[in-house]
Structure 1
Amino acid sequence: MIRSRHFVRAAALAAVVLFGTACTAAEVPADATAVTDAAWPTPAGVGGPDTSAGVNTDTSCDPLASIRPTAGTSVPPGSHLAEIKARGKLIAGVDQTTYLFGFRNPQSGNLEGFDIDVVNQIAKALFGTAEGHVQFRAIPSSQREQVLKDHKVDVVVRTYSITCSRRKEVQFSSVYYVAGQKILVPKTSNAQSLADLAGKRVCAARKSTSLTKVATDPAKPIAVSVPNWSDCLVMLQQNQVEAVSTDDTILAGMAAQDPQVKVVGDQLTKENYGVGVPLDEQDVVQFVNAVLDQMRADGSWAASYGKWVGQRLGPASPPEAQYR
């Protein structure tokens, strides 16, 4: 009996040794010389320059002059507004990746930000409350005109700069926010302008006015296009680009998320944000303009600005409406 126990123990020990040897052998790579430094993967949809936004090249209109509201926030029978109200939901094209303006709160799962506040104010004026009456559709910058032309959304509120070239395809509200294009770089960088980034890779969103500015700058930085602004921050963090260039509002959100980057330089452009509306829906434009007028007057614009932007970009007042 004792000899049997010793035999079992010896056999078990031999099995452990054999198993351990087998595992060690299996863990050795078949060809260690084939292992190299792995590069960070680039975000999906990374491309080169795309100047189709046509920023500041078309001066055939007064881009900031919108349609004057005439009926306040009333809903005329038979109008596009009446159709939206009967549907029970306002369909809004927004961003879900730009911190401070349009982003998804990771704790609540809700969309939040300055632009989201504007959408909720429009819905509140139309339905009496925004709760349960907004259908958000997250879209990249490159799809803003198309979703309006296809009538897949009622409005686009997505840091949407008003230009004459865009006005040929969609309508815009009055200006509800004025931003300016700047540059985001690592805190270790000495760059202060696009001139300091000649021959360097600078990221911007596809079909944005910011990308056009980068691609056509005399210093000739290398424009890198991506679907969403959050992709630019990822590429900067992975050393795949030397800088990001877009509106200071968007860059402020990136800097708030990453303490290793900074916003630098003077404003390269002036960006006037408007609410995009399908070209054939004048009544919707007038309604939105009436809502924006209310926001300027009742303090809701100032409250939203103070909540999301003020502490990062300083004090500001709502831009005055311009009507034709």
Structure 2
Amino acid sequence: MLVARTGARSRALAVTACVGALLVAGGCGQIGGAPPPDESETAEQCASLLGADAGGRIVIGMHSDQPGMNFQEDDARRSGFDYEFAKYLGEYCGMTVIEQDVSTPQRQELLQDGVVDVIVASYSITDARKLEVSFAGPYLKTKQGVMVGAGSGIESARDLAGRKVCAGRNSTSWDQMIKNLPGITAVEAEGFGECTERLLDGEIDAVTTDQVLLYGYEHEYSGLRVLPGEQFGSAELYGIGLRHGDVELCEFFNQAIKDYVHSGRWVQQFKNNLPEHLDPDDFKPVDHDLTECPDPEAEQ
């Protein structure tokens, strides 16, 4: 079991998804989100885009095992940058957020099956994924890094040859690991919380995923170290996952992201939730980073 630096966060990082029936009865959790009066027009637009059956709620798929991004305590309290961003989307839409736990491999399936309205779960935008899912964003950008045990003696990615390195199944991190870390023994897990648990238990030698996630684990749990300056692969651009071809909702949430960044809330929540030595400007998107919303007719 993982042991947090604070001592209070000691639960195993196993992610369990709530089923759709539970959502009807109240879901995995709720976050309030009634808008100020001057935002009523925005809320009305969001309700229209989500559909008449939304019922004043927006179901957002989230991770719960990523310290600094979205982490759920034993007492069900959540914290993290993604969590605060999801709360903001609820406020922007004037809706109550229903939290739906997702693991990395589940994200596309739950979105396509209509169990969730959107995904906010360190969901990287890729060309391959855009064939099945649409994205608004990015709302954060990062690169891949490596995390090891503090006393492992591993000082660079070159030292990983012949060692066991873990990444999440169906993640872009897995693909980048295979491409950029030759000679390793690749270990697959359901998510990066599971990888981290295996690292602390001594079952593997390293975890590789997005640096912003690794720094969250390093900050939260004793005995972990992110290799300084070790980054590789292409940039990971986190987007809001939407059902494929939903152009209007994509454009709506792109505007929501712009407003979030320009208002200063983006920087404030980054500083509130992630290690203080990280520079927000290294991870903050700018307007020209935003993806062009898909045109389903042009894709045919």
Tell me the TM-score range normalised by the shorter chain. 0.7 to 0.9
2:65 is matched with: 97
The structure number with the bigger radius of gyration is 1
- Residues 77 and 255 of structure 1, relative CA distance in 2, 3 Å threshold: closer
- Residues 97 and 124 of structure 1, relative CA distance in 2, 3 Å threshold: same
**TM-score, normalising length: structure 2:** 0.77
- Residues 218 and 243 of structure 1, relative CA distance in 2, 3 Å threshold: closer
- Could you tell me how far 1:285 is from its partner in structure 2? 1.3
- Residues 286 and 77 of structure 1, relative CA distance in 2, 3 Å threshold: closer
Distance 2:261 2:106 in 1: 29
- Could you tell me how far 1:83 is from its partner in structure 2? 2.7
Matched, 1:204 2:170: no
Q: 5+ residue gaps in structure 2?
A: 1-12, 16-40, 293-300
2:118 is matched with: 155
Look up the equivalent residue of 2:80 and give its one-letter code. Answer: G
Secondary structure at the residue paired with 1:266?
Answer: coil
Are the equivalent residues in 2 in contact too, given 1:81–1:283 (CA < 8 A)?
no
Q: How many residues align?
A: 251
- Could you tell me how far 1:166 is from its partner in structure 2? 0.5
Are the equivalent residues in 2 in contact too, given 1:247–1:271 (CA < 8 A)?
yes
1:80 is matched with: 49
2:285 is matched with: 319
Within 5 Å, which residues of 2 pair with 1:287-302?
287-302=252-267
Are the equivalent residues in 2 in contact too, given 1:76–1:82 (CA < 8 A)?
no
- Residues 312 and 207 of structure 1, relative CA distance in 2, 3 Å threshold: farther
Match of 1:192 among 155, 171, 175: 155
Moved more, 214-223 or 199-208: 214-223
Match of 1:256 among 192, 215, 219: 219
1:37-56 Cα deviation digits (max 9, x unpaired): xxxxxx999xxxxxxxxxxx
Distance 2:182 2:176 in 1: 11
Distance 1:153 1:304 in 2: 24
Q: 5+ residue gaps in structure 1?
A: 1-42, 46-71
2:27 is matched with: none
Are the equivalent residues in 2 in contact too, given 1:73–1:287 (CA < 8 A)?
no
Look up the equivalent residue of 2:81 and give its one-letter code. Answer: F
Match of 1:278 among 236, 240, 243: 243
RMSD: 2.4
- Could you tell me how far 1:142 is from its partner in structure 2? 0.6
Match of 1:178 among 141, 145, 148: 141
- Residues 233 and 293 of structure 1, relative CA distance in 2, 3 Å threshold: same
- Residues 314 and 278 of structure 1, relative CA distance in 2, 3 Å threshold: same
What is the identity percentage for the equivalent residue pairs of Structure 1 and Structure 2? 27
Are the equivalent residues in 2 in contact too, given 1:75–1:81 (CA < 8 A)?
no
Match of 1:267 among 222, 227, 231: 231
2:210 is matched with: 247
- Bigger share in strand: 2
- Residues 250 and 286 of structure 1, relative CA distance in 2, 3 Å threshold: same
**TM-score, normalising length: structure 1:** 0.71
- Could you tell me how far 1:195 is from its partner in structure 2? 2.4
